[in-house]
A and B are shown apart, each in its own frame.
Chain A
Amino acid sequence: MMFNVKKGKKRFSLTVLGNELSAWMLILPAIFCVYFLVVRPQIMGFYWSFFDMHGYRVEEFVGFENYRRVISDTMFLKTLINTCKYVIFSLLIGYLCPIVLAIMLNEMVHVRNALRVMIYLPSILPAVAGIALWYMIYYPDQSGLLNMVLGWFGAEPYGWLQDSRNTILYIVISMTWQGAGGTVIYYFSALQGVNRELYEAAMMDGAGFFRRIRIVTLPHIAGISLLFLVRQIINVFSVMEQPLQMTGGGPNGASTTLGLQVYKYGFESIKPQFAMALGVIMFLILMAVTVFYFYLNKKIESNNE
Chain B
Amino acid sequence: MADKRNMDKGVLTNIDMKRPRYKALYWTMLAILIIWSVGICVFPVVWVMLTGFKTPQEMYAIPATLFPENFELSKIVRVWNEMKFYKYYLSTFIMSAGAVVFTLVICGLGGYVLSRLKPRGSKIVFAVFFWLMLMPGTMRTVPLYMTFKDFPYLHINMLNSYLPIWLMAAADIFNIILFKNFFDGISNQILEAARVDGASNIRIFFQIILPLSLPVFWTVAIFTFNGNFGQFFWPFLLISEKEMTVLGVQLFNLKNSTFSMDYQMLALLFAMIPQLIIFAVFQRQIIGGVNVGGVKG
Contact = CB atoms under 8 A, between A and B. Distances in A.
Interface residues of A, number: 116
A142 B60 CA distance: 6
Interface string A183-199: 00110010111101001
Interface string B131-164: 0101111111111111101011000000000000
Contacts of A217: 11
A41 B44 contact: no
Given A20-B119, A36-B152, A136-B265, A104 B125 contact: no
Q: Which of A33, A116, A224 has the most CB of B within 10 A?
A: A33
Contacts of B252: 128, 132, 245
Contacts of B15: 203
B144 to A, nearest CB: 5
Given A26-B112, A37-B147, A132 B251 contact: yes
A109 B140 contact: no
B176 interface: yes
Contact of B136 (A136, A196, A290, A300): A290
A166 interface: no
B29 A40 contact: no
Contact of A120 (B25, B205, B287): B287
B67 interface: no
Interface in B23-47: 25-26, 29-30, 32-34, 36-38, 40-42, 44-45, 47
A210 to B, nearest CB: 9
Contact of B171 (A38, A108, A134, A286): A38
Contact of A185 (B40, B152, B271, B290): B290
B151 A23 contact: no
A124 B226 contact: yes
A201 interface: no
Contacts of B30: 108, 110
A30 B36 CA distance: 42
Interface in B232-262: 232-233, 237, 247-248, 251-252, 254-255, 261
Interface in B146-205: 146-147, 149, 151-152, 167-168, 170-171, 173, 176, 188, 192, 195-196, 200-202, 205
Contacts of A286: 136, 138
Interface residues of B, number: 112
B120 interface: yes
A39 B25 contact: no
A46 interface: yes
A24 interface: yes
B4 A3 contact: no
B12 A107 contact: yes
Contacts of B168: 33, 37
A interface majority secondary structure: helix
B59 to A, nearest CB: 5
B210 interface: no
B82 interface: no
B22 A209 contact: yes
A288 B106 CA distance: 32
Contacts of A148: 64
B142 A266 contact: yes
Given A38-B137, A199-B11, 14 more contacts: A24-B119, A26-B109, A26-B110, A27-B109, A27-B114, A39-B132, A44-B146, A109-B1, A124-B276, A132-B264, A135-B255, A192-B9, A266-B145, A279-B140
